[in-house]
Structure 1
Amino acid sequence: MIGKVLAMLALSTGLASAQEAPEGLAEAPGAYLRGLDKIAAASTDLTLSVGEAVRYGALSVRLDDCRYPADDPASNAYAFLEITDTTIDKVMFRGWMIAQNPALSALDHQRYDVWVLRCKID
């Protein structure tokens, strides 16, 4: 099921354009993320609107899209993120993250973890 949704998202969005969501998925105006500073052992919740970027430590986190199952908004979230390490000006992650399976497509950074909690639908 997850592979099918990822394939639909990849085919329909290219680079997360504002196209119509695949059948069964609805577009959300934002997302809730959580960041973990592994050295300080501190987590921080981040709220982003689509198109917005926020700083989280040395990272810049940009949300380009968030989609969720239209028939069950609380069940999962798919967010297209671009995460840049600003200290070296390098994109560390660019792609879809899935709330229910964060390890499937995860940020690989020595200090920080970032993952999707849910889409912001209100």
Structure 2
Amino acid sequence: MGPVAAQEPAEAGVSAVLRGLDKVNGHNSDVTVPVGGSAEIFGLIVTLSECRYPAANPTGDAFAFLTIRDPQNGEVFFDGWMIASSPALSALDHARYDVWVIRCNSPAAEGS
């Protein structure tokens, strides 16, 4: 048996699709955020620093580095990596809202 790779090679995405959920009224919304950009999702400011996906499987698992903060006072609710296939592993801790990663968009997907 050969050596086991520590991690699968990854490609950098140009944007990510994020889903927001308002846990009080059950509304959800999908938002595309460019790498280096921010978007408002249900009153939270979400900044995407990086999005990666498996090189061998562009539609596979996405890993996104997000910072989620309160627009009023700048309080940071989340700052770290979120994994699309395991949203509970590193989740936003907010009483009303939830945000998670759906997928990264590759440069080829953005151009089509």
Structures share a fold, TM > 0.5? Answer: yes
Q: Counterparts of 2:27 and 2:42 in 1: how far apart (Å)?
A: 11
1:88 Cα offset (Å): 3.6
Q: Within 5 Å, give how 1:13-92 maps onto structure 2.
A: 24-92=9-77
Say whether the 8 Å CA contact 2:20–2:42 is kept in structure 1.
no
Instruction: Provide the residue aligned with 2:88 in structure 1.
Output: 103
Instruction: Mark the runs of 5 or more structure 2 residues left unpaired by the alignment.
Output: 1-5
Structure 1 residue ranges (4+ consecutive) displaced by more than 6 angstroms after TM superposition: none
Q: How large is the RMSD of aligned CA atoms in angstroms?
A: 1.3
Report the identity percentage: 49
Shift of 1:73: 1.2
| Count of residue pairs the alignment pairs up | 102
Gaps of 5+ in 1: 6-22
Q: TM-score, normalised by structure 2?
A: 0.86
Which structure carries more relative contact order (alpha carbon 8 Å, separation 6+)?
A: 2
Contact 2:37–2:47, Cα closer than 8 Å, also in 1: yes
Give me the whole-angstrom Cα distance separating, in 2, the residues matched to 1:75 and 1:66.
12
Higher share of residues assigned helix: 1
